[in-house]
């Protein structure tokens, strides 16, 4: 008789006894996340500059499903003390928020540093530290100064210097108190999303702009990393990374294995390989496919701009841990040339593949969000084995609902199952450093406006006070943090 190991058995079946004795390691950190444009509001107070989101949604409100925008959002600009209080109520170790570039640098350039912007982020950082909560700061969560977009935005290679100047100012102002920095949130969204009319500035340029942006974000991140490494790390000993959004992809049938790997490289590899791989540069298989596609289409230069040898070395290794935003899984199916689904965002059109859901997975809100927690564990293994990265921080994970109820059992279950997968991955030997729930509270969910919620706390957007109220998922998260485990007693624990 052949025995399978406990780890393999648990990977496949996950009965409760697999988890019963598992606890989060003592240095595992729990957190919650938000982003400036989604929560701050106060879009034009004092000298704040206009961001691409301000400008495009003021001129074209129909770009969001409810014609809303982030002018007021959760009003965290005024209500940040309550946000800290909520983080304290949950008992989290870290709060991830982003700095609004145009709030700190109204012109986008370092010629003016806003006193008001400085004060706001100093207050928030100091307020968190007073309560023993670590500020985890994202430099860029999609609210590019409109002034820089007018100059070409992420397609202009000068943005590498613009971003570096901004990063240096942020490190100088806040680096003495912030020791975890995240450079550019989900570069895939910044490039593939924004150049596919899905996120501001809603451009339509998937052939060229998307890939110019791809190279420039990698270089901008690397430059910001190198500046920190050389000038600030010796003083403050902090850590940096760039959070990647990472759908897990699996082949629909064994025959789709090759294209499924290719789609992983198109999504994750294009934004990870240059930084984390031993060789650096673009994933070779993607560089090859895109070069062939471009040639066939009559382009004389590769659409995905090549890296020079110096650039490869400059970008390679610019990380202290892998920052992962994980939400969902897709199955990948090979298609005949020209028959890929209409999803340029996924890169299907470049690879002749479709992405579909497994009928066994339930979906949340829309069918883009399939619930398959096992995908997270597989993905953690993939990162670990593909890049040999030692440490992984989950910088986002959460579930959208249309219902605004305080009883949010589906979100609670989603978070629970993902935490279970993390415990199992840790047990497999992968160093998951922490988990960050998206989101602390309901907020402006980009093109879904306020129709979709991810919050552990609900927010009453009809009230001028933007009243925040904990959901059941908040109580659950609190009890996990308190016990540092997922036990059957969880539901009995009271929330403070």
The dihedrals phi and psi of 81, each to the nearest 5 degrees, come to: -65, -40
The yes-or-no answer on residue 134 being catalytic is no
Contacts for 343 with CB less than 8 Å, ≥ 6 apart: 349, 354, 355
Q: Does residue 146 bind ligand BG6 (CB under 6 A)?
A: no
> Please, which residue, 276 or 450, has the CB nearer to ligand BG6?
450
Q: Does residue 75 bind ligand BG6 (CB under 6 A)?
A: no
Q: Which stretch binds ligand BG6 (CB under 6 A): 9-17, 257-265, 315-323, 438-446?
A: 438-446
Minimal distance, residue 35 CB to ligand BG6, in Å:
5
Q: Which stretch binds ligand BG6 (CB under 6 A): 10-18, 264-272, 302-310, 443-451?
A: 443-451
Nearest of 185, 183, 158, 189 to residue 170 by alpha carbon: 183
Which of 40, 50, 186, 374 touches ligand BG6 (CB under 6 A)? 186
Place of tokens 């001129």: 59
> Please, which residue, 35 or 42, has the CB nearer to ligand BG6?
35
> Please, which residue, 86 or 259, has the CB nearer to ligand BG6?
86
Q: In this structure, what token pair is assigned to residue 433? A: 């450093």
Alpha-carbon distance of 473 to 463, in angstroms, equals 22
Residue at shortest CB range from ligand BG6: 445
Which of 76, 147, 180, 185 touches ligand BG6 (CB under 6 A)? 185
* Cβ 246 vs Cβ 267: under 8 Å: yes
- The DSSP bridge pattern shows strands 353-356 and 322-334 to be antiparallel
Q: Does residue 200 bind ligand BG6 (CB under 6 A)?
A: no
Minimal distance, residue 11 CB to ligand BG6, in Å:
27
Minimal distance, residue 368 CB to ligand BG6, in Å:
8
Strands (E), 144-212: 180-184
> Please, which residue, 109 or 368, has the CB nearer to ligand BG6?
368
Alpha-carbon distance of 387 to 372, in angstroms, equals 23
Minimal distance, residue 193 CB to ligand BG6, in Å:
9
State which of positions 400-419 bind ligand BG6 (CB under 6 A).
400
Out of 40, 134, 396, 420, pick the active-site residue: 396
Q: Does residue 247 bind ligand BG6 (CB under 6 A)?
A: no
Q: Does residue 446 bind ligand BG6 (CB under 6 A)?
A: yes
Minimal distance, residue 229 CB to ligand BG6, in Å:
25
Alpha-carbon distance of 95 to 79, in angstroms, equals 15
Three-state DSSP state, 282: coil
Q: What is the 3-state secondary structure (H, E, C) of 195-230?
A: CECCCCCCCECCCCHHHHHHHHHHHHHHHHHHHHHH
Minimal distance, residue 31 CB to ligand BG6, in Å:
14
State which of positions 5-34 bind ligand BG6 (CB under 6 A).
none
Q: Does residue 399 bind ligand BG6 (CB under 6 A)?
A: no
Contacts for 309 with CB less than 8 Å, ≥ 6 apart: none
Which of 287, 396, 408, 442 touches ligand BG6 (CB under 6 A)? 396
Three-state DSSP state, 110: coil
Minimal distance, residue 434 CB to ligand BG6, in Å:
16
> Please, which residue, 246 or 307, has the CB nearer to ligand BG6?
246
Out of 186, 311, 350, 420, pick the active-site residue: 186
State which of positions 453-492 bind ligand BG6 (CB under 6 A).
none
Q: Which stretch binds ligand BG6 (CB under 6 A): 102-110, 284-292, 299-307, 440-448?
A: 440-448
Omega of the bond leading into 370 within 30 degrees of 0 (cis): no
Bridge partners of 434, per DSSP, are: 29, 393
Q: Does residue 98 bind ligand BG6 (CB under 6 A)?
A: no
Bridge partners of 233, per DSSP, are: none
Q: Does residue 53 bind ligand BG6 (CB under 6 A)?
A: no
Which of 241, 448, 458, 473 touches ligand BG6 (CB under 6 A)? 448
Q: What is the CA radius of gyration of the chain?
A: 22
Which of 180, 183, 325, 458 touches ligand BG6 (CB under 6 A)? 325
Q: In this structure, what token pair is assigned to residue 361? A: 């997975």
For residue 91, what are the CA distances in angstroms to 29, 82, 122, 131? 11, 14, 22, 10
Nearest of 376, 370, 495, 478 to residue 32 by alpha carbon: 478
Q: Does residue 39 bind ligand BG6 (CB under 6 A)?
A: no
Contacts with ligand BG6 by CB under 6 A: the residue count is: 13
Q: In this structure, what token pair is assigned to residue 384? A: 């670990």
Alpha-carbon distance of 98 to 299, in angstroms, equals 38
Q: In this structure, what token pair is assigned to residue 3? A: 């025995």
Q: Does residue 438 bind ligand BG6 (CB under 6 A)?
A: yes
Q: Which stretch of DSSP H or E encloses residue 58?
A: helix 52-59
Determine what percent of the chain falls in helix, strand and coil, rounding each to the nearest 5: 45, 15, 40
> Please, which residue, 399 or 412, has the CB nearer to ligand BG6?
399
The yes-or-no answer on residue 349 being catalytic is no
Positions in the binding site for ligand BG6 (CB under 6 A): 35, 38, 185-186, 245, 325, 396, 400, 438, 445-446, 448, 452
Catalytic residues: 186, 396
């Amino acid at each position: 008789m052949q025995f399978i190991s406990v780890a393999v058995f648990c990977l496949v079946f996950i009965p409760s006894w697999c988890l019963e004795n598992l606890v989060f390691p003592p240095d595992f950190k729990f957190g919650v996340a938000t982003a400036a444009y989604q929560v701050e509001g106060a879009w034009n107070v004092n000298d704040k500059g206009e961001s691409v989101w301000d400008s495009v949604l003021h001129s074209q409100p129909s770009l969001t499903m409810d014609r809303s925008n982030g002018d007021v959002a959760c009003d965290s600009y005024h209500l940040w003390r309550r946000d800290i209080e909520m983080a304290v109520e949950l008992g989290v170790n870290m709060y991830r928020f982003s700095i609004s570039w145009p709030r700190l640098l109204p012109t986008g350039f370092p010629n003016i540093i806003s006193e008001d912007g400085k004060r706001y982020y100093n207050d928030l950082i100091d307020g968190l530290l007073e309560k023993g909560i670590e500020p985890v700061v994202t430099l860029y969560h999609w609210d590019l100064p409109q002034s820089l977009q007018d100059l070409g935005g992420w397609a202009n290679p000068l943005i590498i210097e613009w971003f570096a100047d901004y990063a240096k100012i942020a490190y100088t102002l806040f680096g003495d108190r912030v020791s975890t920095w995240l450079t550019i949130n989900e570069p895939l969204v910044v490039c593939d999303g924004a150049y596919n009319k899905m996120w501001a500035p809603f451009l339509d340029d998937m052939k060229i702009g998307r890939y110019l942006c791809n190279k420039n974000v990698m270089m901008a991140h690397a430059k910001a990393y190198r500046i920190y490494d050389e000038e600030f790390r010796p003083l403050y000993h902090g850590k940096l990374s760039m959070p990647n959004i990472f759908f897990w992809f699996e082949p629909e049938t064994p025959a789709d294995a090759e294209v499924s790997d290719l789609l992983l490289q198109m999504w994750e590899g294009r934004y990870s390989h240059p930084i984390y791989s031993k060789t650096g540069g673009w994933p070779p298989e993607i560089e090859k496919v895109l070069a062939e596609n471009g040639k066939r289409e009559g382009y004389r230069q590769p659409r995905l701009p090549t890296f020079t040898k110096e650039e490869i070395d400059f970008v390679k290794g610019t990380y202290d841990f892998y920052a992962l935003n994980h939400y969902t899984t897709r199955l990948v199916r090979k298609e005949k040339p020209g028959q890929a689904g209409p999803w340029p965002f996924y890169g299907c059109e470049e690879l002749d593949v479709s992405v579909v859901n497994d009928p066994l997975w339930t979906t949340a809100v829309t069918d883009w969000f399939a619930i398959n927690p096992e995908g997270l564990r597989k993905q953690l293994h993939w990162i670990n084995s593909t890049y040999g990265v030692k440490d992984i921080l989950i910088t986002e994970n959460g579930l959208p609902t249309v219902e605004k109820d305080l009883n949010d059992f589906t979100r609670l279950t989603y978070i629970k199952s993902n935490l279970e997968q993390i415990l199992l991955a840790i047990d497999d030997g992968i160093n998951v450093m922490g988990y960050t729930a998206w989101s602390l509270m309901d907020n402006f969910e980009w093109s879904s406006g306020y129709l979709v919620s991810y919050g552990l706390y609900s927010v009453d957007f009809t009230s001028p006070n933007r009243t925040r109220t904990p959901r059941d998922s908040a109580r659950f998260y609190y009890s996990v943090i308190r016990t540092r485990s997922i036990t059957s007693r969880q539901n009995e624990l009271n929330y403070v």
